Amino acid sequence: MTQVFDNNGLTLPVTVVRVGPCLITQLKTKKSNGYNAVQIGYSKVRALKLKKAELGHFTKNGLPPLLHLCEYRVENVQGYSLGQIINVSNFEIGQFVNITGKSIGKGFSGNQKRHKFKRGPMTHGSKNHRAPGSIGPGTTPGRVFPGKLMAGQLGAKKITVSKLKIIGIDIKQNLLILKGSVPGKRGNLINIVSSN
pLDDT of residue 66: 92
Residue 181 has pLDDT above 80, yes or no: yes
Residue-averaged pLDDT of the chain: 92
Tell me whether residue 4 is exposed, middle or buried, using C-beta atoms within 10 angstroms of its C-beta: 0 to 12, 13 to 18, 19 or more.
middle
Are 182 and 164 in contact by the 8 Å Cβ rule? The answer is yes
| Positive or negative torsion for Cα 188, 4, 173, 98 | positive
When comparing pLDDT for 152 and 90, which is higher?
152
**Virtual torsion, Cα 78, 40, 172, 101, nearest 10 deg:** 130
CA distance 193 to 92: 13
pLDDT of residue 191: 93
Mean pLDDT of 146-171: 95
For a pLDDT cut of 90, what percent of the chain falls above it?
A: 78
Mean pLDDT of 78-90: 90
Provide the 3-class DSSP secondary structure of residue 88: helix
Local confidence band at 52 (pLDDT 50, 70, 90 cut-offs) = very high
Mean pLDDT of 125-153: 91
pLDDT of residue 172: 92
Closest alpha carbon to 71 in 103, 109, 106, 33: 33
Q: Where do the structural domains in the chain lie, given as residue ranges?
A: 2-105+160-194, 108-128+148-156
pLDDT of residue 138: 86
CA distance from start to end of the chain: 25
| Positive or negative torsion for Cα 109, 111, 113, 119 | negative
pLDDT of residue 40: 94
Which class is domain 2-105+160-194? alpha beta
Local confidence band at 116 (pLDDT 50, 70, 90 cut-offs) = very high
CA distance 31 to 110: 51
